[in-house]
Structure 1
């Protein structure tokens, strides 16, 4: 498969049918009782993690550990995607 110029090759990891888990907040923060600032949805597996402004940065840790590079904001009024590998909007 040839990736067109200017298109993030990490978008190949994105699945359109992901189901947020858990839908109510950051999976790890809920488990440990930690606070978060904003939430990010992994577009490969549906993991919900906290953002880089949160104390634990679970979304970034998940991306690095599992190789799932692209997240989407999981905030109700935001509609954007971020690639952790390229450190850019996807």
Structure 2
């Protein structure tokens, strides 16, 4: 159950990040959802001591939320830096 919650949390945060950043390219939206899901599952698993099959603690949910938010901000910062780089 915890794994399902982390996947849904990461996908939702990735989707919300695409709305906030006004991303319209389908590939970019899917990348953000993928980044959000991946980081959420990894951070939640590490904070929950590797027990993803069992219950999810509030601490691991918070860690997953914070790590996913930070990863998506970093993704957008690097993407913006790459598009504004002088050629």
Higher relative contact order (CA closer than 8 Å, sequence separation 6+): 2
Higher helix fraction: Structure 1 or Structure 2?
A: 2
Q: Which structure has the larger Rg?
A: 2
Q: TM-score, normalised by structure 1?
A: 0.27
